[in-house]
Amino acid sequence: MGAVVEWKIGDVWTQKEPFYLPVGEEIQLFEAAAAGRLPVMLKGPTGCGKTRFLEYMAYRLRRPLVTVACHEDLTTADLVGRYLLKGEETVWVDGPLTTAVKRGAICYLDEVVEARKDTIVVIHPLTDDRRFLPLEKKGEVIKAPDTFMLVISYNPGYQTILKDLKQSTKQRFVALEFDFPPADYETEIVRREAGINSDVAAKLVKVAGKMRTLKNRGLEEGVSTRLVIYAATLVKHGIEMLEAIKTAMIKPITDDQVIQKSLEEIAATLLAEG
């Protein structure tokens, strides 16, 4: 039996509409891909809004959304299902991918590059004109309905020899590229998500923007919009702004105390400028 796979399914249109602020033509492109039954790859750095965008699109398209958090121990059985012993019976239990296909849902494989390469091969028949899912252990083939859609997320910044998508997988998807939004957009996102005023949001976004320029110069990854929202949330609940930045925007992205100190000095200087 493989490792436990984290996944969830939700009929998102029964929930509150997720807040998403478009910065380009990503909504129209995704809707066109959905209409054409095309698989989609969301490319971009961690915490830049890929998952929120997909939650919004599932709401907009009124389709269930099955989300799978990929990891290095993810097996094919974790995705498609397996036989389990229940009492004195052996019963088949569908995995998240099989559940999504049967329900005509959007199946989202989050950070797909983390999954084992031999596991990812199982999605290939769903990404071309065949659009079926083979259940080898059951000797069955499930045809995907028109509403089924396969979406993966992928962070090109983590490309390595050992952790990258094969070209044979990449070229099965249309790709939408995401990045951190422009400062005015990000300020509005932080304001809305954290429930703080625009001035505070703008200051935090300014600090994050400066830190992002240091990526690949001591930092492996820039400060995500998610972390900026975390910092704003701390400020809303009474934490002094520089301390919130240290706690939510600096310490999570580096363990190097020298770099931490440098980032704290940069943040203090920018805050003093107003």
The ranges assigned to domains in the chain are: 6-177, 183-273
Tell me the HSE value of 260 on the side-chain side, using a 13 A CA sphere.
14
- Which of helix, strand or coil describes residue 206? helix
The pLDDT assigned to 13 comes to 53
Please name the fold of domain 6-177: Rossmann fold (3.40.50)
Other C-beta atoms closer than 10 Å to the C-beta of 57 total: 24
What does the buried/exposed string (b/e) look like for 191-214 if buried means 16 or more CB atoms within 10 Å of the residue's CB? bebbebeeebbbbbbbbbbebbeb
The pLDDT assigned to 162 comes to 52
For residue 108, name the pLDDT band (cuts at 50, 70, 90): very high
For residue 80, name the pLDDT band (cuts at 50, 70, 90): very high
| pTM of the predicted model as reported, rounded to 2 decimal places | 0.88
| Whether pLDDT at 160 is above 70 | no
Instruction: Judge whether 84 and 214 are in contact, CB under 8 Å.
Output: no
Range in 6-15, 83-92, 131-140, 167-176 the model is least confident about: 6-15
Range 122-138 average pLDDT? 92
- Taking all residues of the chain, what is their mean pLDDT, rounded to a whole number? 89
Sorted by sequence, the CB contacts under 8 Å of residue 184 that are 6+ apart come out as: none
The pLDDT assigned to 85 comes to 87
The pLDDT assigned to 2 comes to 38
Instruction: Judge whether 221 and 215 are in contact, CB under 8 Å.
Output: yes
